[in-house]
A = this chain, B = another copy of it.
Amino acid sequence: MKLVEPSLSEQTYETLREAILTGRIPGDTLWSDREIAARMQFSRTPIRDAVQRLAAEGLVEVIPRRGTRVLPLRTEDVREIHQIARALELEAATIIARLPERDLSAIEAAVIGMEEAIARADREEWVVADAAFHHAVVHGCGNGRLARLYDAQRSLTDRARYFALYLRELPVRSAEEHREMLNAIKVCDATRLATLYREHWDRTTKELLELVERHGTTVPVKAQ
Protein backbone atom coordinates (compact mmCIF):
# COMPACT_ATOMS: atom_id res chain seq x y z
CA MET A 1 0.00 0.00 0.00
CA LYS A 2 1.21 3.40 -0.93
CA LEU A 3 0.31 6.65 0.71
CA VAL A 4 -1.18 8.89 -1.92
CA GLU A 5 -0.77 12.58 -1.23
CA PRO A 6 -3.99 14.45 -1.95
CA SER A 7 -3.58 16.72 -4.95
CA LEU A 8 -2.79 20.38 -4.42
CA SER A 9 -6.15 21.16 -5.96
CA GLU A 10 -7.84 19.00 -3.33
CA GLN A 11 -5.87 20.59 -0.51
CA THR A 12 -6.78 24.07 -1.69
CA TYR A 13 -10.44 23.12 -2.02
CA GLU A 14 -10.62 21.70 1.48
CA THR A 15 -8.79 24.64 3.02
CA LEU A 16 -10.88 27.32 1.34
CA ARG A 17 -14.16 25.49 1.89
CA GLU A 18 -13.48 25.04 5.58
CA ALA A 19 -12.45 28.69 5.90
CA ILE A 20 -15.64 29.90 4.23
CA LEU A 21 -18.01 27.58 6.08
CA THR A 22 -16.64 28.46 9.48
CA GLY A 23 -16.81 32.14 8.65
CA ARG A 24 -13.05 32.78 8.73
CA ILE A 25 -13.43 34.30 5.27
CA PRO A 26 -16.38 36.68 5.60
CA GLY A 27 -19.01 37.11 2.91
CA ASP A 28 -18.45 39.57 0.05
CA THR A 29 -14.69 39.15 0.35
CA LEU A 30 -13.02 39.67 -3.02
CA TRP A 31 -9.79 37.91 -3.82
CA SER A 32 -7.65 36.91 -6.75
CA ASP A 33 -6.27 33.49 -7.50
CA ARG A 34 -2.74 34.89 -7.55
CA GLU A 35 -3.31 36.10 -4.00
CA ILE A 36 -4.32 32.62 -2.80
CA ALA A 37 -1.53 31.04 -4.82
CA ALA A 38 1.03 33.24 -3.12
CA ARG A 39 -0.42 32.52 0.30
CA MET A 40 -0.57 28.76 -0.20
CA GLN A 41 2.74 28.55 -2.06
CA PHE A 42 1.13 26.79 -5.02
CA SER A 43 0.77 27.89 -8.58
CA ARG A 44 -2.47 29.32 -9.91
CA THR A 45 -3.60 26.12 -11.62
CA PRO A 46 -4.69 24.06 -8.59
CA ILE A 47 -6.21 27.20 -7.06
CA ARG A 48 -8.33 27.75 -10.15
CA ASP A 49 -9.49 24.14 -10.00
CA ALA A 50 -10.52 24.48 -6.39
CA VAL A 51 -12.26 27.83 -6.92
CA GLN A 52 -14.32 26.37 -9.75
CA ARG A 53 -15.50 23.55 -7.52
CA LEU A 54 -16.51 26.08 -4.88
CA ALA A 55 -18.31 28.13 -7.52
CA ALA A 56 -20.24 25.03 -8.63
CA GLU A 57 -21.34 24.53 -5.02
CA GLY A 58 -22.54 28.10 -4.78
CA LEU A 59 -20.05 29.20 -2.15
CA VAL A 60 -18.22 31.71 -4.34
CA GLU A 61 -18.82 33.57 -7.56
CA VAL A 62 -16.12 34.04 -10.19
CA ILE A 63 -16.33 37.39 -11.95
CA PRO A 64 -14.09 37.45 -15.04
CA ARG A 65 -11.36 40.07 -14.80
CA ARG A 66 -12.71 41.28 -11.48
CA GLY A 67 -11.97 38.62 -8.95
CA THR A 68 -13.61 35.84 -7.00
CA ARG A 69 -16.24 36.85 -4.48
CA VAL A 70 -17.27 34.89 -1.41
CA LEU A 71 -21.05 34.82 -1.55
CA PRO A 72 -22.67 35.92 1.72
CA LEU A 73 -25.34 33.70 3.21
CA ARG A 74 -28.59 35.61 2.82
CA THR A 75 -31.84 34.86 4.59
CA GLU A 76 -33.33 33.85 1.25
CA ASP A 77 -30.54 31.29 0.83
CA VAL A 78 -31.24 29.77 4.24
CA ARG A 79 -34.92 29.44 3.38
CA GLU A 80 -34.19 27.77 0.03
CA ILE A 81 -31.56 25.42 1.39
CA HIS A 82 -33.77 24.34 4.27
CA GLN A 83 -36.65 23.60 1.93
CA ILE A 84 -34.40 21.38 -0.15
CA ALA A 85 -32.93 19.63 2.87
CA ARG A 86 -36.40 19.02 4.29
CA ALA A 87 -37.63 17.49 1.05
CA LEU A 88 -34.63 15.19 0.74
CA GLU A 89 -34.65 14.05 4.34
CA LEU A 90 -38.39 13.43 4.33
CA GLU A 91 -37.97 11.31 1.22
CA ALA A 92 -35.18 9.35 2.90
CA ALA A 93 -37.21 8.87 6.09
CA THR A 94 -40.22 7.67 4.11
CA ILE A 95 -38.08 5.21 2.17
CA ILE A 96 -36.60 3.83 5.37
CA ALA A 97 -40.04 3.51 6.94
CA ARG A 98 -41.12 1.28 4.05
CA LEU A 99 -38.00 -0.87 3.90
CA PRO A 100 -38.80 -4.52 4.62
CA GLU A 101 -35.63 -5.02 6.63
CA ARG A 102 -34.68 -1.77 8.24
CA ASP A 103 -32.12 -1.03 10.87
CA LEU A 104 -33.18 1.87 13.07
CA SER A 105 -30.48 1.39 15.69
CA ALA A 106 -28.36 4.32 14.47
CA ILE A 107 -31.36 6.65 14.43
CA GLU A 108 -32.48 5.39 17.83
CA ALA A 109 -29.00 5.96 19.25
CA ALA A 110 -28.98 9.51 17.89
CA VAL A 111 -32.34 10.30 19.48
CA ILE A 112 -31.16 8.96 22.82
CA GLY A 113 -27.99 11.03 22.45
CA MET A 114 -30.05 14.15 21.87
CA GLU A 115 -32.22 13.49 24.90
CA GLU A 116 -29.18 12.96 27.09
CA ALA A 117 -27.56 16.12 25.74
CA ILE A 118 -30.69 18.10 26.58
CA ALA A 119 -30.80 16.60 30.06
CA ARG A 120 -27.22 17.70 30.61
CA ALA A 121 -27.67 20.99 28.77
CA ASP A 122 -24.65 20.06 26.69
CA ARG A 123 -24.87 22.07 23.48
CA GLU A 124 -21.82 20.53 21.83
CA GLU A 125 -23.11 17.03 22.39
CA TRP A 126 -26.53 18.03 21.10
CA VAL A 127 -25.05 19.24 17.82
CA VAL A 128 -23.21 15.95 17.41
CA ALA A 129 -26.33 13.89 18.12
CA ASP A 130 -28.47 16.10 15.87
CA ALA A 131 -26.02 15.67 13.00
CA ALA A 132 -25.94 11.93 13.70
CA PHE A 133 -29.73 11.74 13.40
CA HIS A 134 -29.93 13.44 10.03
CA HIS A 135 -26.88 11.54 8.84
CA ALA A 136 -28.38 8.21 9.85
CA VAL A 137 -31.60 8.99 8.01
CA VAL A 138 -30.18 10.20 4.69
CA HIS A 139 -27.41 7.61 4.62
CA GLY A 140 -29.70 4.79 5.69
CA CYS A 141 -32.17 4.95 2.82
CA GLY A 142 -29.87 3.28 0.32
CA ASN A 143 -29.59 6.29 -1.96
CA GLY A 144 -26.01 7.53 -1.94
CA ARG A 145 -26.72 10.33 -4.39
CA LEU A 146 -29.46 11.71 -2.17
CA ALA A 147 -27.15 11.56 0.83
CA ARG A 148 -24.36 13.43 -0.95
CA LEU A 149 -26.78 16.05 -2.22
CA TYR A 150 -28.21 16.52 1.25
CA ASP A 151 -24.79 16.88 2.85
CA ALA A 152 -23.70 19.39 0.22
CA GLN A 153 -26.78 21.55 0.72
CA ARG A 154 -26.87 21.38 4.47
CA SER A 155 -23.20 22.27 4.81
CA LEU A 156 -23.98 25.57 3.12
CA THR A 157 -25.79 26.72 6.23
CA ASP A 158 -23.01 25.53 8.51
CA ARG A 159 -21.76 29.11 8.63
CA ALA A 160 -25.01 30.17 10.28
CA ARG A 161 -25.44 27.17 12.55
CA TYR A 162 -21.82 27.52 13.59
CA PHE A 163 -22.28 30.82 15.33
CA ALA A 164 -25.93 30.25 16.25
CA LEU A 165 -25.12 27.40 18.58
CA TYR A 166 -24.59 29.48 21.68
CA LEU A 167 -26.98 32.27 20.80
CA ARG A 168 -30.20 30.32 21.07
CA GLU A 169 -32.23 28.51 23.65
CA LEU A 170 -31.54 24.89 24.46
CA PRO A 171 -33.37 22.99 21.69
CA VAL A 172 -35.68 21.01 23.95
CA ARG A 173 -38.56 20.94 21.48
CA SER A 174 -36.22 19.72 18.74
CA ALA A 175 -35.28 16.61 20.70
CA GLU A 176 -38.95 15.79 21.22
CA GLU A 177 -39.66 16.21 17.55
CA HIS A 178 -36.90 13.82 16.59
CA ARG A 179 -38.32 11.21 18.94
CA GLU A 180 -41.69 11.61 17.24
CA MET A 181 -40.07 11.25 13.83
CA LEU A 182 -38.48 7.98 14.89
CA ASN A 183 -41.85 6.71 16.09
CA ALA A 184 -43.50 7.69 12.82
CA ILE A 185 -40.82 5.76 10.94
CA LYS A 186 -41.38 2.75 13.18
CA VAL A 187 -45.11 2.61 12.49
CA CYS A 188 -44.56 3.61 8.87
CA ASP A 189 -46.90 6.61 8.93
CA ALA A 190 -45.87 8.65 5.89
CA THR A 191 -48.48 11.35 6.42
CA ARG A 192 -47.42 11.88 10.01
CA LEU A 193 -43.77 11.96 8.91
CA ALA A 194 -44.52 14.64 6.35
CA THR A 195 -46.29 16.75 8.95
CA LEU A 196 -43.50 16.34 11.48
CA TYR A 197 -40.81 17.24 8.98
CA ARG A 198 -42.73 20.26 7.84
CA GLU A 199 -43.16 21.54 11.38
CA HIS A 200 -39.62 20.72 12.43
CA TRP A 201 -37.90 22.40 9.51
CA ASP A 202 -40.27 25.37 9.51
CA ARG A 203 -39.40 26.03 13.13
CA THR A 204 -35.68 25.43 12.64
CA THR A 205 -35.64 27.75 9.62
CA LYS A 206 -37.48 30.45 11.52
CA GLU A 207 -35.08 30.25 14.46
CA LEU A 208 -32.01 30.40 12.27
CA LEU A 209 -33.40 33.26 10.21
CA GLU A 210 -34.10 35.32 13.31
CA LEU A 211 -30.51 34.89 14.39
CA VAL A 212 -29.15 35.71 10.95
CA GLU A 213 -31.33 38.79 10.70
CA ARG A 214 -30.40 39.97 14.17
CA HIS A 215 -26.72 39.70 13.29
CA GLY A 216 -27.02 40.97 9.72
CA THR A 217 -27.20 39.03 6.51
CA THR A 218 -23.63 37.88 6.75
CA VAL A 219 -21.82 35.88 9.34
CA PRO A 220 -19.56 37.80 11.71
CA VAL A 221 -15.85 37.28 11.19
CA LYS A 222 -14.33 34.81 13.56
CA ALA A 223 -10.90 35.28 14.99
CA GLN A 224 -8.20 33.58 12.99
Contact = CB atoms under 8 A, between A and B. Distances in A.
A56 interface: yes
Interface of A: 7, 48-49, 52-53, 56, 58, 64, 77, 79-81, 83-84, 86-88, 90-91, 95, 143-146, 149, 153, 190-191, 194
A62 to B, nearest CB: 11
Given A52-B52, A79-B143, A83-B146, 13 more contacts: A48-B49, A53-B56, A80-B143, A80-B146, A83-B143, A84-B88, A84-B143, A87-B88, A87-B146, A90-B91, A149-B153, A191-B191, A194-B194
Given A191-B191, A194-B194, A83 B95 contact: yes
Given A53-B52, A53-B56, A91 B86 contact: yes
Report whether over half of chain A's contact residues are helix, strand or loop; otherwise say mixed: helix
